[in-house]
Amino acid sequence: MNNRFTKEEDRTDFDALGPARARMVAVQMARAKNNEWLPAGTSAAYHASKTAIYKEKGVITGSILPGKIDEKILTKIQPALDVLGDVVELLSIEVDTVFRFKYHGLMKNKRGMEAWAGVLIRNCDVDCTNVVFETGYRKRDPAYDGGDIWYGPY
């Protein structure tokens, strides 16, 4: 019972249940996506504490909040956006050379898609020093109650 998150009174005593009943309870908990490791709200509270500085400073990098988009640059990179299609949405253009997108594709392809998007933008004769794909909040933390703003590196 090396679990520092669950209170002692909330833990399930598997030793008192016997082997057959303990296995059945463990299977029920696994199927219910509840293994007593993190109580409700623990992950959300940790996430909120780590990202509070972003909210205080008004930083949108790492979030899915829209920012400023230069219309001239947007017109020039439109062929690249047409190729990328519905996989990305342009969020902002920072310092005229950093492009932030909301990414809807598979996480395993994120890094390659960022590199490819950078090549497509450079092929449109636009300076591009970096492409950042923001993905929003993780689906495995549905109890997040910090509002509709997500900040973080994912």
Residue-wise pLDDT for 93-116, tens only, equals 999 999 999 998 888 899 999 999
Residue 53: per-residue pLDDT = 82
DSSP SS3 for 93: strand
User: Which residue from 126, 134, 109, 117 is spatially nearest to 83, judged by alpha carbons?
Assistant: 117
| Cα→Cα distances 143→38, 112, 130, 153, Å | 12, 31, 33, 19
Is the separation of the CB atoms in 152 and 58 below 8 Å? no
CATH code at 64-134:
3.30.300
- Burial class of residue 37 (count of CB atoms within 10 Å of its CB; 0-12, 13-18, 19+): exposed
DSSP one-letter code for 129:
S
User: Which residue from 137, 39, 56 is spatially nearest to 146, judged by alpha carbons?
Assistant: 137
pLDDT, one tens digit per residue, over 24-57 is 988 887 776 555 566 667 777 877 787 788 778 8
- What band does 138 get if pLDDT is binned at 50, 70 and 90? low
Note the pTM of the prediction, 2 decimals.
Answer: 0.60
Q: What is the mean pLDDT of residues 122-134?
A: 94
Strands (E) located in 3-43: none
Boundaries of every domain in the chain: 8-39, 64-134
Residue 26: per-residue pLDDT = 81
- What band does 73 get if pLDDT is binned at 50, 70 and 90? very high
| Cα→Cα distances 151→23, 56, 107, 135, Å | 39, 11, 17, 10
Residue 46: per-residue pLDDT = 79
